Structure 1
Amino acid sequence: MANIHPTALVDPQAQLDATVQVGPYTVIGPHVKIGAGTTVAAHVVIEGHTTIGRDNRIFQFGSIGAANQDKKYQGEPTELVIGDRNTMREFVTLHVGTVQDKAVTRIGNDNWIMAYSHIAHDCVVGNGTTLANNSTLGGHVELGDCVTIGGLAGIHQFVKIGAHAMVGFQSAVSQDVPPFMLVDGNPLAVRGVNVVGLRRRDFSAARIAAVKQMHKLLYREGRTLEDARSAIAALAQSTPEAAEDVALMERFLAASTRGIAR
């Protein structure tokens, strides 16, 4: 059996792997599933149709899988799905989805979600992201892999933030942020390329140069967005090593619905 503190309230229908640890005064509801190696600290509430993978660490006072804050929500059995090896610090709030969208809020693997962060209904969070203290994701937000969100930043509903982008401290994000970009402020502005983040992820000099060229085409030459997209596509031929990075940018720009941050 799982290592459950005697003061914890775990519904008999909950499905916990035998290696799960549950701390004092934690409450776990009937529709919860928790995978091997996950630890849940004291005073956590995990409810709703919530599935949590392997080797996650959930710190004290978290609210996981609660009913979302969409006024249209009528208690439908929507889901929260969390992957593996995530860290969720104190007072995080993660909500289930809505039937008006995907009916699931989805968080990937290896994410670092710091204290008081909020991930609202129908968000999709990739892998390897970092949400600093008090980061707030409105409903339907999408974060690509390896995104960093600075403390006290707010992300508007339906915004997409591309992989490897970084959002600075106290930023207000109401438009889509292309991959690799560094943005901050209120109003938000693109400050350059997230070069430090790319180097930490072992991007080669050629790939970083190609990313810098994409930034230049989007923001420094006065091009229309369509013209910039055509020029970016051509980079795959001149810099084959960066072909996947170019394709990532192309897919993001094609899928953007709110316009990109300038």
Structure 2
Amino acid sequence: MRLTAWATALRRIPIATTIGAQAALLALLLTGRPCVAGIIAAVGITQSILLALSHHRAVHAADRIADLESDLAVAYLDPVTGLAVRRVAEHHLIDAAGTDVTVALIDVDGMHAINTTHTHDGGDRFLAELAARLEQASDVGDLVARLGGDEFVLVTPRDPRTLARSLTGVLAPPITIDGVTRPMAVSIGICRTPGGNPHRALGRADRAMYAAKRRGGGIAHYDPVRDGEPPAPGVRPAVRHRDRRPHGHRTGTS
């Protein structure tokens, strides 16, 4: 039950109490006891005061709940792109239990160079434009989220080939930042997987994405023979994909 519903329910308790008490006293009055009228008046005044106080507390509580829910909604949105954050994507995949979903994990190629050339403000503009294009490729019921850094995910019930065509179309035009035209260069891993397990779904898409990155970008579909399964949660691979860099290459976001 939403918090506001609890506030509404609590607000009705004093009203029910007042009605019950006054009904009982009216019954006594009707039995021929005039002194009860004074008691009814006193109780009515008291209950009116209590109702006013209760209403004030309920309004204050409802306002506070609305503020908290607003803060929570903001916490679930990425401030740079306006997309959902990783936690939302994970819950979306959990809720997809019992169905198959297509997961596309998108990673920017050369993000470090973009930040170096155009500063981090230019990098943020690149990420915001990428987010807008991913939303263009999405359909009703899909989820687009920023996982963190320069990684994004799109979750859809559509088949992988259809999603790949949509992504190819929206990412084909270049982007212009500070008068410089750059390709929308990304590596994308796509997998079709049962919902319910975000670690497995994101892990498979991540492995396919690195297969695409190794061959210079573009889209790669998950191949269990080539890509294997992601390690169990909490297990760090012996060699991370991002550790596989040419000798002398500076460490940074790729």
Class of the TM-score when normalised by the shorter of the 2 chains: under 0.3
Determine which structure has the larger helix proportion and give its number. 2
Determine which structure has the larger strand proportion and give its number. 1
TM-score, normalised to structure 2, is: 0.27
Point out which structure has higher relative CO (alpha carbons under 8 A, 6+ apart): 2
Choose 1 or 2 for highest CA Rg. Answer: 2
TM-score, normalised to structure 1, is: 0.26
